[in-house]
Structure 1
Amino acid sequence: MSVDRTINAANTTSAVAPNLVAAPHGLQRVWATLGRVVAFAIVELQKLQHDRTELVTRMVQPALWLLIFGTTFSHLQVIDTGSVSYLAFLAPGIIAQSALFISIFYGIQIIWDRDAGILAKLMVTPAPASALITGKAFAAGVRSVAQVVGVLGLAYLMGIALTINPLRIVAAMAVVVLGAAFFACLSMTLAGLVRNRDRLMGIGQAITMPLFFASNSLYPVDVMPAWLHTLSTVNPLSYEVDVLRALLIGTPFHAVDVVVLLVAPIIGIATASKVLRRLVA
């Protein structure tokens, strides 16, 4: 009798036991991760709805660079840019610079998420840290696309000879997304290291202008002193500007520029993902 009861109890237990769902693997895991990346990116982009004027106000600085700095140095003719006008030479650099200024402070948002308790909740979800970082990084890149549109529109109004080929313009947008994604990852890595908004703001301000001036955004590398030329070769912004110039004004194309643009965000995502947990530790 007791044996029958034991068997019946076992059968009852097995009948009500929950069915375990196997974790996704292979292509299912890849698609699941991509879905989470897209979801995180959409959440970031939806924040623009709360301040739609941001896209307009961020155009002020690049417009000033083109209208004041660009036209002044173009008239002075102190920088030799060969057969290309200085304004045409400058415009791709200003596009890269404006995207840099958007993304280099992106780590502040992740510290805000930490302080609001949002980051801790996200870190206990099944989504890997790399999905969160990737989503935020490419959201920064998509935000930067507006800068491409704005600078190109202003350049056309100023009569600057830039390409009107739609495929090249779309490719330039993709380049800006990759560049902005890397610098957003750099910012989030710094956020994980310093874990403080004020410190991160100070570091961002300290490195933004050196990154800009130690690149080929404003002047060709040929006119740089040797030490600055060396810095420009290890500056990812220089490679981004090179590709933008190749697409927008037809300067020579170098495969190494594309390789750096593709590899840099991958390294940035991996590094930022490693230090992200320091924010919630």
Structure 2
Amino acid sequence: EAGWTTDPFGAEVIDGVLYGRGATDMKTAVACFADAASRFLARKGDGFNGSISLLITGDEEGPAINGTRKVLQWMQERGETMDACLVGEPTNPSTLGEMAKIGRRGSLSGWLDVHGVQGHTAYPHLADNPLPRLLKMLAAINDEVLDDGTDHFQPSNLQITTIDVGNSATNIIPGTVRAAFNIRYNDLHTSETLMAWLRSKCEDIGGDYDLEFHITGDAFLTAPGPFSALLAGAIKSVTGMEPDLSTTGGTSDARFIKDFCPVAEFGLISQTMHKLDERVAISDLENLTDIYEAVLDGYFAS
């Protein structure tokens, strides 16, 4: 609670603004969709013969081991299928209606350890300094342009995030040095092709090294089509805005769902997510509920 104006779990409304953890990311989007579905079903009555499901998990950030993936596996084992999915991520940078997501970049993290022989700087012939080889490897992967982007994705990018020699002394040659990096990549690549490229670059330099990888998710795209058009039309009908169909930003649980059905993302404004005083205007909640209801109307009318 330190630093918050209100109780982060109190859901206080002050001057038409709801404050609380999850106000934008993304408990309120779930509530808006539940309300929209309730209103939709109340209007349809007993004549409705479709199916609406809400997939809600408590393990969405980070490794997401016991979240959406487990639920999807459970559904598959039961023979449950989905025709389309809408994820309530806070997709709008500043104004409700300006952006929906139809894909996401992939994320690959790597750790490069280069090994040598520790020694004294006065006796370099008795040591093997791994740091120059590490720097050459990092230069080789950092200097190469991965691609120029696509119609739906920005260019892939590699960022070196840490270099650690574990050595504060100026007269000691380190025995092992480590660097970490992250690649955000578009659908011109897969994690497999990037890992092969990284290994090739390191092999070109040579020496004793190890590479470890962690794949958060591969890039994916739900190509613009009926589902994204339906979502864009619903957004415009409520906000008057034509949303940008984007693939920017980080990863989301849509990376798991895309293997099962077409998926798009639309929710609230992302400016205060993960911050102190996370908040959302009540008017945005009302409009988001209307948008979700319009999506249901359009989807089940088709």
Normalising by structure 2, what TM-score?
A: 0.22
Query: Of Structure 1 and Structure 2, which has the larger fraction of its residues in strand?
Result: 2
Query: Of Structure 1 and Structure 2, which has the larger fraction of its residues in helix?
Result: 1
Normalising by structure 1, what TM-score?
A: 0.23
